[in-house]
Amino acid sequence: MNSADRAALSKEIEAVLMVISEPLSIERATEVFGVRNEEFEAAIDELASFYLSSDRGFYIQKVAEGYRFASCPEMSSVIEKFALSQIHPRLSGAVLETLAIIAYRQPISRAQISSIRGVNSDYVIKVLISRGYIESTVAETGPGSPRYYTTTPAFLEKLGIFSLAELPKVEGFMPLPEVAEALEASLFDGSY
């Protein structure tokens, strides 16, 4: 194998190692790359040596009869710190309800949100801001000007949508006015 072919094989190996979830076996590698076992082993050994001599934060680990990228053991504290910073508990029902109100009614004030929900929403608004799903703006300047809340690009990204126009329509989930009135009346008179 000439040097150009070995360089091309090395790039292919790197690309595959970047996306695999399980170790790349020699058998699978020779099948995918169309090379002999010895050629693959020589290329991966050369890559492994290169990464070790380059003092990178990762290396090629030989594990479970295959190869994969692994983080260097001395990087464990920074990886742990990063992983812990990414952990967010699931959103509660109250937070999801508030997020839906903001998404469909934005821009909307804190008082309007609390009025729709029927409870104080200060805490859940703080949670949504801390998660980066909403942001606040002041519509007017001057004393007593309310803050208005809108969703952020992080909200769209989390939902996997391009714009708010892609939000599901809620009209199909809302009862007709006469059904809502009957439901409300039954709640107040005790009948079902």
Per-residue pLDDT at 111 exceeds 80: yes
Per-residue pLDDT at 192 exceeds 50: no
- Answer whether residue 138 is part of any domain: yes
Range of the domain at 7: 3-75
The predicted model scores a pTM of 0.48
- Answer whether residue 33 is part of any domain: yes
| Residues 99 and 164 reside in one and the same domain | yes
Nearest to 106 by CA among 93, 125, 91: 125
Quick one: angle between helices 26-33 and 3-19, nearest 10? 120
- pLDDT for residue 134: 93
Per-residue pLDDT at 179 exceeds 70: no
Per-residue pLDDT at 175 exceeds 90: no
Count of structural domains, the chain: 2
| Residues 25 and 107 reside in one and the same domain | no
- Answer whether residue 84 is part of any domain: no
- Answer whether residue 102 is part of any domain: yes
- Answer whether residue 81 is part of any domain: no
> Worst-scoring range by mean pLDDT, 9-23, 31-45, 75-89?
75-89
Q: How far apart are CA 192 and CA 186, in angstroms?
A: 6
CATH assignment at residue 112:
1.10.10.10
CA distances from 158 to 31, 153, 162 (A): 37, 9, 10
- pLDDT above 90: percentage of residues in the chain: 22
- Answer whether residue 105 is part of any domain: yes
